[in-house]
C-alpha cells in the first residue's frame, strides 16, 4: 500500500538527499501530489519528459523525503522525523528497476541477484535455492555464471527484475524499464512486472511507450509539470 497526500518535493532545498550532479537551484519536481495504490495494485506512471516521474519514484524508493505533505509506504508513515533505521528497513521492502539496469559489472548474474538476500544475512544454502528459483522464473538459469556485459539488454533487465523482487518486497518501482529494449523484450518485462503485482506487490512503472500501455491496460497516474492530472480516487 502506498499513500501520498499533498506531497511537494523540490530539488536543491535543505532536506535534499538525492545524489546527482546537477545544480542546486530549487526546482519544484512535485507539487500537491495526492494518490493511493492498494496492496497488489499495478499503475502506469505517465507524463512527458521532465514531468517528475523519476522524482516521484525516487521519493517512493525513499532516496528523498517529502518536504511537505504525507507519505505512507507499507503501513509506515514517512515524515522528516523518520528514524534512519526505520527508513533503512523500509527501503529493503521496496524493489527498484532502472532503465539502464544498474547491475554490478564485476559480479556474476547470480551474485547480482543474490545481493538483497545477502544484505539480509540469509544463510547461503537458502540464498542458493532462492537465486536458482528466481533465475528460472526470469529464464536466466543458463546464464547464472555470466557477467552482466555478456548478456543482451533484455536479459540484463530480467536479471535486474530478479534482483528487485528476490527478497519479496511489498513495493516494486520501475523507471522506464523498457527504454533500451526491443518490443518483444519490453512485453516480456512488463508481463513479469504484472505477475509480481498479481502475487501481491504494489507495482508502479514509469514509461512513455504508448504502445506498451495499450498492450497492458491498467490504471494510470499522469504527471504534468509535477502535478497529477488524473483523479485516482475513481480507480479501483
Ligand X SMILES: Nc1ncnc2c1ncn2[C@@H]1O[C@H](COP(=O)(O)OP(=O)(O)O)[C@@H](O)[C@H]1O
Query: Which one of ligand X, Mg ion, none is in contact with 127 (Cβ closer than 5 to 8 A by kind)?
Result: none
Give the relative orientation of helices 183-198 and 153-165 as an angle to the nearest 10 degrees: 10
Site for ligand X in 61-90 (CB under 6 A): none
Task: List the single partner that 153 binds among ligand X, Mg ion, none, CB under 5 to 8 Å by kind.
Answer: none
100 contacts ligand X (rule: CB under 6 A) = no
Site track for Mg ion across 39-58, x = CB under 5 A: --------------xx----
**Cβ proximity to ligand X, 17 vs 77, nearer residue:** 17
DSSP β-bridge partners for residue 11 = 27
Q: Are 5 and 40 in contact (CB under 8 A)?
A: no
Question: Of residues 37, 44, 46, 52, which one binds ligand X by CB under 6 A?
Answer: 52
Residue with cell 505533505: 69
11 binds, among ligand X, Mg ion, none (CB under 5 to 8 A by kind): ligand X
Residue of 54, 112, 156, 207 that binds ligand X (CB under 6 A): 54
Our finding on whether 11 is near ligand X (CB under 6 A) is yes
Output the smallest distance, CB 209 to ligand X, in A. Answer: 14
Residue 20 interacting with ligand X (CB under 6 A): yes
Q: For residue 99, state whether it binds Mg ion (rule: CB under 5 A).
A: no
Cβ-Cβ contacts under 8 Å for 175 (sequence gap 6 or more):
53, 54, 57, 96, 97, 98, 99, 206
**C-beta closer to Mg ion: residue 45 or 113:** 45
55 binds ligand X (CB under 6 A): yes
- Interface residues with Mg ion (CB under 5 A) are 53-54
Amino acid at each position: 500500500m502506498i499513500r501520498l497526500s499533498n506531497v511537494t518535493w523540490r530539488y536543491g532545498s535543505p532536506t535534499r538527499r538525492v545524489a546527482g550532479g546537477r545544480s542546486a537551484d530549487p526546482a519544484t519536481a512535485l507539487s500537491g501530489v495526492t494518490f493511493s495504490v492498494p496492496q497488489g495494485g499495478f499503475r502506469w506512471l505517465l507524463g512527458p519528459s521532465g514531468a517528475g516521474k523519476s522524482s516521484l519514484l525516487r521519493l517512493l524508493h525513499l532516496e528523498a523525503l517529502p518536504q511537505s505533505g504525507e507519505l505512507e509506504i507499507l503501513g509506515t508513515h514517512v515524515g522528516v522525523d523518520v528514524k534512519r533505521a526505520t527508513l533503512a528497513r523500509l527501503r529493503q521492502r521496496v524493489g527498484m528497476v532502472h532503465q539502464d539496469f544498474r547491475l554490478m559489472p564485476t559480479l556474476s548474474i547470480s551474485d547480482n541477484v543474490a545481493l538483497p538476500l545477502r544484505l539480509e544475512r540469509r544463510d547461503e544454502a537458502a540464498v542458493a535455492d532462492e537465486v536458482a528459483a528466481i533465475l528460472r522464473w526470469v529464464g536466466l538459469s543458463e546464464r547464472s555464471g555470466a557477467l552482466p556485459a555478456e548478456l543482451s539488454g533484455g536479459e540484463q533487465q530480467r536479471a535486474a527484475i530478479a534482483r528487485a523482487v528476490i527478497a519479496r518486497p511489498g513495493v516494486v518501482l520501475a523507471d522506464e524499464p523498457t527504454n533500451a529494449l526491443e518490443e518483444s523484450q519490453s512485453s516480456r518485462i512488463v508481463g513479469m512486472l504484472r505477475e509480481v503485482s498479481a502475487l501481491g506487490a504494489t507495482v508502479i512503472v514509469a514509461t512513455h511507450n504508448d504502445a506498451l500501455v495499450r498492450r497492458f491496460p491498467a490504471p494510470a497516474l499522469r504527471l504534468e509539470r509535477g502535478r497529477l492530472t488524473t483523479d485516482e480516487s475513481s480507480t479501483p
